Amino acid sequence: MIHYADGTLVHLPITNQVNIADRYQFGLAEETAPPTPKPPLIVGWKGNCAFTRKDGRSYLWLYLYTWENPRPELPVTSVDFVSNAVDAAPCLFGITRE
């Protein structure tokens, strides 16, 4: 849910392979290309962390999703993730504005 300064809300569904994707890839060769998600989702960063460095062949990808704000004249005051109680834990790493 996107909350605006005037109290209105916009529902933005979180859908696998549309605006999110699995961030870990295990047991890959270093030259392995990241998974290719469907547009508008793109790979924004590839790296590793303590968890993926354990075997030396696992990687972490973060995905960039661009959303067209239907109310650009209003400030966004907050963003809520609302779960459907599935085996996923979406993470928001940042928001920018153009």
Q: Three-state SS for 20?
A: strand
- Give the CA distances from residue 92 to residues 14, 55, 79, 89, 95, in Å, rounded to whole numbers and listed in that order: 11, 26, 10, 10, 8
> Can you give the pLDDT at residue 9?
96
Q: Taking residues 56-73, report their average pLDDT.
A: 82
**pLDDT value at 38 more than 90:** no
> Can you give the pLDDT at residue 24?
64
Positive or negative torsion for Cα 41, 45, 51, 54: positive
Q: Taking residues 46-54, report their average pLDDT.
A: 78
Task: Considering only residues 77 and 51, tell me which one the structure prediction assigns the higher pLDDT.
Answer: 77
> Can you give the pLDDT at residue 35?
64
